[in-house]
Copies of this chain bind each other. A is one copy, B any other.
């Protein structure tokens, strides 16, 4: 039954040899791996403008309109640099693993584990943030459509969302790619339409409508006080601009996903992944620049400004599309897209987890390939952690966002540093140029990471700053255990001549003489070695009967009676084993526990669990093997009449 349910939910197992067919063409790989990165256009501009709104207090009221577009261009430039770096990483490491592999190969296992921890955290946060943002969007849609009469529980919606995405991913990479492609491409087209229509209105048509009336815009403008224009303000101003830049860099999160999942691409995987990455960067740049340009020209304000209720992208949508169907569609697609962005992390987390596990820094089971050729345990771990985090943080995006992005930029930095090292080592044609680009990129992403970590330290980034080293320590400890185990189990210096078959003593536990026990005795005698029956006495009357039956059926086997003053079964047996093992060291002892198995589970509840208790008690004992010999009881067919016979027998007697 659980098997049938499993089949229904995630489909039939796929054979290993079909793996090649499950690979993704570029047209499906883009939505699977790039939706996280692309979905960030839904909020990156807004985050940047929110930072500039604060900057305005020091830098003058025009900060937003002055700096939004230049900073956006700067971010796109950084995007180009990072993508260029990663393109080279993908081509150099077609086996996947992205920043982790780059770090592992060029900088060593320690930096690699730092990258691994940072990326795993970031994937987890991507899922939590995207799903939470998506379900908040769904809630406001429902509220708007029902005029506030119908409300939904965001946590519940988020958990259902996680459940659906988990099932999609357990079904397999390719199937989830197909299902996700439609809304992703619809979103891209809708956003391109928005940008096209906006530019048309601005340059060709009668000019753009304003999202906010001039008086709202005026009111929201910060009133520069005494600081504006002083030398000190100029210094702080640089920091604030960096803050805005770092906030806008939210647009870059998720672009590493392709480099991790290269192996999911069709052959030639490296080339295909590199091409998909360029597409992604192109689309992302156009969308991001377009949104930033229009945001400035429709007088959009960040949600944090007074009197503003819509997101920046919604303000643009309303100004360009008006209040009609297109605007509603934009809103719905944004919500859906945010939920789907989580899917990128569902592709990345298990893949990265498997790579780290293969290196022996995470539990090996994470590298197991499941029924549907996906790393199903990693998917389940991610879904569970994200579910718990969302439930704990009540699906509140503003509590989750500050944890976000430090990890990604840390991994960008380390990966690019690794590539610099690679070029310096290999000195392949153009190495100087490549190393310069990667070095410049590494420096920039390092600065962005520092700004993020410092600016958002108190509001949650500290957790990530603490968590990454802690995780790295755990990874190293796991690795040390695997190494120690491997050394202990290794047969390298093992001398085959030491393999001497030990003598054998077989002890069979005898609660009473039944067919099941006789069956177990037969089994015991089919093993080599001396066989003894062991009875632990709790009732002297039973012992007497037992002895009689024993002589009748097993006259040639010795029977040992152990007293048990405290009615425990475990203690006398352990004491007897001590005796046997000290008398005859190097003897292999097998303890046989006869067991009967009833056909129904409830029937087994009617029998003592002595066998289980003994088994647990003997778990840690060396040179003792515990064996259950089962006697299967046949199904009994009992009618009500049969059950009442018990009374008839009584009446008959009297």
Proximity bits, A589-603, B CB within 8 Å = 1, else 0: 010000011100001
Q: Separation in Å of the A561 CB from the closest CB of chain B?
A: 15
Q: CB of A644 within 8 A of chain B? A: yes
Cβ–Cβ contact A625 & B16, under 8 A: no
Q: Separation in Å of the A399 CB from the closest CB of chain B?
A: 30
Q: Separation in Å of the A180 CB from the closest CB of chain B?
A: 26
Chain B neighbourhood of A430, CB < 8 A = none
Q: Which of A229-237, A311-319, A491-499 contacts B (4 or more CB under 8 A)?
A: A491-499
Q: CB of A632 within 8 A of chain B? A: yes
Chain B: CB-nearest residue to A357:
B606
Cβ–Cβ contact B481 & A646, under 8 A: no
A625-B625 in contact given A364-B607, A479-B646, A488-B515 (Cβ < 8 Å)? no
Q: How far is the CA of A636 from the CA of B484 in the complex (A)?
A: 7
Which residue of the partner chain, among B108, B481, B503, contacts A651 with CB atoms under 8 Å? B108
Cβ–Cβ contact B514 & A476, under 8 A: no
Chain B neighbourhood of A485, CB < 8 A = 596, 598, 603, 633, 636
Q: CB of A642 within 8 A of chain B? A: yes
Chain B neighbourhood of A479, CB < 8 A = 643, 646
Which A544-567 residues have C-beta < 8 A from chain B? 549, 552-553, 565-567
Which A616-646 residues have C-beta < 8 A from chain B? 619-620, 622, 625-634, 636, 638, 640, 642-644, 646
Q: CB of A522 within 8 A of chain B? A: yes
Cβ–Cβ contact B553 & A491, under 8 A: yes
Q: Which of A149-157, A292-300, A388-396, A525-533 contacts B (4 or more CB under 8 A)?
A: A525-533
Chain B neighbourhood of A477, CB < 8 A = 638, 643
Chain B: CB-nearest residue to A512:
B489
Q: How far is the CA of A590 from the CA of B620 in the complex (A)?
A: 22
Chain B: CB-nearest residue to A566:
B13
Chain B: CB-nearest residue to A368:
B608
Interface centre among A109, A364, A480, A499 (most CB of B within 10 A): A480
Q: CB of A203 within 8 A of chain B? A: no
Cβ–Cβ contact B651 & A489, under 8 A: no
Interface residues of A, count at CB 8 A: 93
Cβ–Cβ contact B15 & A565, under 8 A: yes
Cβ–Cβ contact A109 & B646, under 8 A: yes
A490-B514 in contact given A110-B646, A480-B643 (Cβ < 8 Å)? yes
| Residues of A contacting B: mostly | mixed
Q: Separation in Å of the A51 CB from the closest CB of chain B?
A: 37
How many copies of this protein are present in the complex? Answer: 2
Q: CB of A10 within 8 A of chain B? A: no
Chain B neighbourhood of A651, CB < 8 A = 108
Interface centre among A17, A494, A552 (most CB of B within 10 A): A494
Interface centre among A110, A513, A634 (most CB of B within 10 A): A110
Chain B neighbourhood of A523, CB < 8 A = 502, 588, 625
Chain B neighbourhood of A489, CB < 8 A = 514-516, 596, 631, 633
Which residue of the partner chain, among B17, B110, B619, B627, contacts A565 with CB atoms under 8 Å? B17
Which residue of the partner chain, among B17, B566, B588, B622, contacts A371 with CB atoms under 8 Å? B566
Chain B neighbourhood of A494, CB < 8 A = 515, 518, 553
Cβ–Cβ contact B528 & A526, under 8 A: yes
Interface centre among A473, A568, A622, A647 (most CB of B within 10 A): A647
Q: CB of A363 within 8 A of chain B? A: yes
Cβ–Cβ contact B588 & A526, under 8 A: yes
Q: CB of A369 within 8 A of chain B? A: yes
Cβ–Cβ contact A643 & B473, under 8 A: yes
Cβ–Cβ contact A629 & B633, under 8 A: no
Q: CB of A501 within 8 A of chain B? A: yes
Chain B: CB-nearest residue to A369:
B567
Chain B neighbourhood of A606, CB < 8 A = 363-364, 478, 481-482
Proximity bits, A361-402, B CB within 8 Å = 1, else 0: 001110011010000000000000000000000000000000
Chain B neighbourhood of A529, CB < 8 A = 526
- Seed contacts A491-B513, A499-B522, A526-B529; 9 additional CB < 8 Å A-B pairs: A17-B565, A363-B606, A369-B567, A371-B567, A476-B644, A477-B643, A480-B636, A481-B638, A484-B636
- A selection of 11 A-B contacts at a CB cut-off of 8 Å is A16-B538, A16-B566, A478-B606, A481-B603, A485-B598, A485-B633, A491-B518, A494-B518, A501-B526, A622-B632, A625-B628
